[in-house]
């Protein structure tokens, strides 16, 4: 075990008033920028359904399985290989056309560079029209991590997922790629309940590349998992560490870290009552306000979390709050 017991002046080390002030300011800045971004999204009518269409004389769109204001994701049949694939079709019209093209280019570049069983594979890419690029990816047959964010107990599979998630993100960091939008909805459990079950990370549209500018006022992820520096347009490997730690906290407690009234060290300890002190200390540094105060190696923090959780708990089981 590495030493994770020091609280080096980060957010957790501050008093509860400072934490509440920071959170209030963060939410205000976040939603101001987010609403400005969302207001430019195309209408639902513009993102028309395409069930039954055939792309590139090969991919038959069978069902919509996800999507948002700027893209839809479909389950499709690849007639060339007779297997199911996932196809993400982006919308690049309007004022945000350039931004959406950058997202397409970033996601394509990231998936072309990362080869890891914990990252969704890129199989093909193309354009339906000048306004509609698409990505063909491996189809993940399993649920999102979000479904398990309020489990009644910490299971062996949950510990394994933490290790797998840390390993997948570490591979991206090794080659200079940051995810920057890590959240339970972007983590899927392939072959859930089967021997080959494993975590797979998806949606690299906000990824930062080693040869590209890592700042962007438009790349605001999901607030409950957003590192403080992202609101200021900065990101580092420890930005993903923050989101990873927030997800781990939610898995352990059943509540989102961002929802705590008191995010100070004492508040964190109260939320994690019943868990070992070394686990609380590890989560505390992972959630530090300053990116420099967080562990730099996401694989090691995942391994340490898994190691601590794999030990028998002393005393009564931890109290878990209601759903987030």
Give the tens place of pLDDT for each residue, 56-90.
999 999 999 987 667 889 999 999 999 999 999 98
pLDDT band at 313 (very low <50, low <70, confident <90, very high): low
Per the CB < 8 A criterion, the answer to whether 226 and 206 are in contact is: no
- Among the options 78, 181, 203, 240, which is catalytic? 181
pLDDT at 314: 52
| Strand pairing report for 83-90 and 71-78 | antiparallel
Query: Which has more pLDDT, 63 or 10?
Result: 63
Given a cut of 60, whether residue 202 has pLDDT beyond it is yes
Query: What tokens appear for 238 in the block?
Result: 């420890």
Beta carbons of 143 and 189 less than 8 angstroms apart: yes
Q: For 116-166, give the DSSP string.
A: -TTBPPEEEEEEEETTEEEEEEE---S-BGGGGTT-SS--HHHHHHHHHHH
Lowest mean pLDDT across 55-64, 185-194, 228-237: 228-237
Residue 280 pLDDT greater than 80, yes or no: yes
Question: pLDDT higher for 51 or 297?
Answer: 297
Lowest mean pLDDT segment, chosen from 1-15, 205-219, 241-255, 310-324: 1-15
- Provide the pLDDT for residue 140: 95
Of the listed ranges 8-22, 218-232, 307-321, the least confidently predicted one is 8-22
Q: What is the pLDDT of residues 132-175, one digit of tens each?
A: 899 999 999 988 887 776 554 566 788 899 999 999 999 999 99
pLDDT tier for residue 187 given thresholds of 50, 70 and 90: very high
pTM of this prediction exceeds 0.75: yes
Q: Which residues of 83-109 are buried (b: 16+ CB within 10 A; e: fewer)?
A: eebbbbbbbbeeebeebbebbbebbbb
**Is residue 57 flagged as an active site residue?**
no
Q: Are 88 and 65 in contact (CB under 8 A)?
A: no
pLDDT digits (tens, 9 = 90+) for 301-311: 999 999 998 87
The pLDDT, as a whole number, for residue 267 is 79
Q: CA 230, CA 234: separation in Å to the nearest integer? A: 5
SS3 at position 55: strand
What percent of the chain lies above the pLDDT cut of 90? 45
Least confident range of 17-26, 210-219, 241-250, 287-296: 17-26
pLDDT at 4 over 50: no
DSSP 8-state class, residue 318 = P
- Which CATH superfamily, name and number, covers 54-138? Phosphorylase Kinase; domain 1 (3.30.200.20)
The larger pLDDT score, comparing residue 13 to residue 94, is at 94
pLDDT reported for residue 148 = 73
Match domain 11-30+142-309 to its CATH number in 3.30.70.270, 2.60.40.10, 2.50.20.10, 1.10.510.10. 1.10.510.10
Examine the pLDDT at 297 and tell me if it is beyond 90: yes
Mean per-residue pLDDT of the chain:
80
Q: How far apart are CA 275 and CA 263, in angstroms?
A: 17
pLDDT at residue 211 tops 50: yes
Quick one: which H or E segment has residue 8? none
Mean pLDDT value of segment 279-287: 94
**Which pLDDT score is estimated for 74?**
94
* Cβ-contact 268, 284 below 8 angstroms: yes
148 vs 118, higher pLDDT: 118
- For the chain, which residues make up each domain, given as ranges? 11-30+142-309, 54-138
């Amino acid at each position: 075990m590495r030493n994770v017991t020091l609280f080096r002046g980060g957010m957790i080390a501050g008093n509860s008033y400072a934490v509440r002030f920071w959170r209030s300011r963060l939410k205000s800045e976040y939603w101001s920028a987010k609403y400005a971004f969302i207001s430019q999204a195309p209408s639902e009518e513009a993102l028309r359904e395409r069930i039954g269409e055939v792309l590139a004389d090969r991919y038959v769109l069978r069902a919509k399985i996800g999507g948002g204001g700027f893209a839809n994701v479909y389950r499709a049949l690849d007639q060339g290989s007779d297997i199911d694939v996932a196809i993400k079709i982006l919308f690049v019209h309007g004022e945000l056309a350039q931004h959406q093209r950058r997202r397409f280019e970033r996601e394509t570049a990231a998936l072309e560079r990362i080869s890891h069983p914990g990252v969704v594979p890129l199989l093909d890419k193309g354009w339906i029209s000048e306004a509609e690029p698409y990505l063909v990816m491996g189809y993940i047959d399993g649920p999102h991590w979000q479904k398990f964010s309020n489990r009644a107990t910490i299971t062996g599979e949950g510990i394994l997922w933490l290790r797998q998630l840390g390993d997948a993100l570490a591979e991206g960091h090794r080659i200079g790629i940051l995810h920057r939008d890590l959240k339970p909805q972007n983590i899927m459990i392939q072959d859930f309940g089967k021997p080959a079950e494993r975590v797979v990370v998806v949606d690299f549209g906000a990824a930062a590349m080693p040869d590209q500018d890592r700042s962007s006022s438009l790349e605001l992820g999901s607030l409950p998992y957003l590192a403080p520096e992202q609101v200021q347009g900065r990101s580092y490997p420890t930005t993903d560490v923050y989101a990873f730690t927030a997800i781990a906290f939610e898995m352990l407690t059943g509540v989102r870290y961002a929802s705590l009234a008191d995010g100070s060290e004492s508040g964190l300890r109260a939320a994690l009552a019943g868990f070992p002190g070394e686990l609380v200390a590890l989560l505390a540094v992972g959630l530090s306000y300053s990116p420099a105060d967080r562990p730099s190696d996401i694989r090691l923090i995942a391994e340490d979390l898994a190691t601590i959780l794999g030990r028998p708990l002393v005393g009564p089981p931890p109290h878990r709050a209601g759903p987030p």
